[in-house]
Amino acid sequence: MFINRTITPTLRIVANQFPVVAIIGPRQSGKSTLAKKTFPDYTYISLEDLDIRALAKADPRGFLAAYDQQKGVIIDEIQEVPELLSYMQGVVDRAYRPGYFIITGSQNFLLHEKITQTLAGRIALLTLLPLSLAELKDANLLTGLVEEALLKGGYPRPYAEKIDLNTWCTNYISTYVEKDVRQVLNVSDVVTFQRFLKLCAARTGNLLNYASLARDADISPNTAKAWISILETSFIIKLLYPYHVNFNKRVIKSPKLYFYDTALICSLLGIRTTDELQFHPLKGALFESLIISELFKYSFNHGEQPALYFWRDVQGHEIDVLIEKSFGTTFPLEIKAGKTITDDFFKGLKDWQDITKQTTLKTFVIYGGSEKLVHKGHQIIGWNSANTVLDAVYKVTKK
């Protein structure tokens, strides 16, 4: 079963403007399927095939020349032979063909380094994360239970095939550690890294404290920083940074840690059922991760770099997300897992308005219910329509 991806129109547009398009994102987020469905007439090459990889490594120039007469080429898992990027430069410089190379990769750290060295100005870079709530909703795969959405996450394969979710998540994490972490980044102590990953899952939605994390994982703070970088550049976690304007207040400067996919958090924490999740102490943090991930997915799917922050001062005033439309123009968003609207939902927004004197801009609450309404000037949006917040802020017209 193929699920339509919101990013498809953006992919078509940039393929008409650049000779190389890179689709990066976590393993199994749907990059290969997206490329093949969008460009069905292109020749498909997977560098995970050991024989093909050996040919590409042995003679990269000849390897690319063999496909020179094709309409276009999809090269999957480009990070397996990153030196091909250097030879692509010569190919596209000799004959400018928009959208000729569509490449995919699941290791952001390798691709960015090579791209900046060899293909600057010749390549468009798109990020494909797992399925968004909006995509699941359009495919009639989203139930009314927020707990089910938290438990299942957004990776396409468990939706497309009859696979036990817990088994899939366990295998996914094992594959990630074995292939992306140990082999590529030379993390030798896999057991310690897996424990570190579980500690990160337990800290989702919290301020990132490297010293505390390192102490609990029995590693050095420098190692903790390096491993956090690994997790972020391979699209497992996302750090949300504090807003840079302090409004004459002392503000928190540490980032907050979130996961891109809540199914992985549930698996790492041993949460197996919606009943377990319903009363879990981290349900609120999981809900925050779900919504923040949705905001990033929406932005990436429209080819944008999201300007999302949080804000907290030392007195405890806090806004879960600040959406910056332009410098100094920010829209506050509170994320509440509760399904019943209460006055507590709006306390942070009122504090923000009092501190910043910004009373004319839109303010938002996304909550665990499904109603959409306006309360005392604040726009309240149900969790399964979270993407409409950015529609309201940016007024993006879907392509």
Q: How confident is the model at residue 250 (pLDDT cuts 50, 70, 90)?
A: low
CA–CA dist 257, 323 (Å, integer): 17
Q: How far is CA 190 from the centre of its chain?
A: 24
- With a cut of 70, say whether residue 394 has pLDDT above it: yes
Residue among 31, 12, 38 nearest 302 (CA): 12
Please state, as a whole number, how many other Cβ atoms lie within 10 Å of the Cβ of residue 202.
15
CA–CA dist 278, 281 (Å, integer): 9
**The pLDDT value given to residue 398:** 40
**The pLDDT value given to residue 150:** 97
- With a cut of 80, say whether residue 157 has pLDDT above it: yes
Q: How confident is the model at residue 399 (pLDDT cuts 50, 70, 90)?
A: very low
Span 223-246, pLDDT tens digits: 999 999 989 988 999 999 999 776
Residue 5 has phi, psi (to 5 degrees) of: -105, 135
Span 326-346, pLDDT tens digits: 766 889 999 999 999 999 999
Span 259-268, pLDDT tens digits: 999 999 999 9
Tell me if 47 sits within 8 A of 81, measured CB to CB.
yes
**The pLDDT value given to residue 328:** 67
- The residue ranking higher by pLDDT, 249 or 44, is 44
Work out the average pLDDT over 273-287.
96
Mean pLDDT, the chain, rounded, equals 91
**The pLDDT value given to residue 326:** 73
Structure tokens at 62: 């000849």
- The residue ranking higher by pLDDT, 182 or 369, is 369
Poorest-pLDDT segment among 68-77, 91-100, 108-117, 364-373:
108-117
**The pLDDT value given to residue 2:** 83
Work out the average pLDDT over 143-153.
94
Looking at the DSSP bridge assignments, the partners of residue 127 are 24
**The pLDDT value given to residue 273:** 95
- With a cut of 90, say whether residue 317 has pLDDT above it: no
- With a cut of 70, say whether residue 248 has pLDDT above it: no
Structure tokens at 168: 């899939």
Work out the average pLDDT over 318-326.
90
Q: What percent of the chain has pLDDT over 90?
A: 72
| Helices marked H in the chain | 8-15, 31-38, 50-58, 60-65, 84-94, 108-118, 133-138, 146-152, 156-160, 165-175, 184-185, 190-202, 210-217, 221-233, 262-269, 274-278, 283-301, 347-356, 388-394
Q: Which are the contacts of 90, defined by CB distance < 8 A and separation ≥ 6?
A: 61
- With a cut of 50, say whether residue 397 has pLDDT above it: no
Looking at the DSSP bridge assignments, the partners of residue 76 are 46
CA–CA dist 292, 151 (Å, integer): 16
All domains of the chain in start order, with CATH: 8-127 (3.40.50.300), 133-241+255-285 (no CATH)
- With a cut of 80, say whether residue 247 has pLDDT above it: no
What DSSP line would sit under 313-368, residue for residue? Answer: BTTS-EEEEEEEEETTEEEEEEEE--SS--GGGGHHHHHHHHHH---SS--EEEES
CA–CA dist 262, 283 (Å, integer): 10
Angle at 12 between CA 7 and CA 17, to 5 degrees: 125
Give the number of C-alpha atoms closer than 13 A to the C-alpha of residue 16, restricted to the C-beta side.
Answer: 6
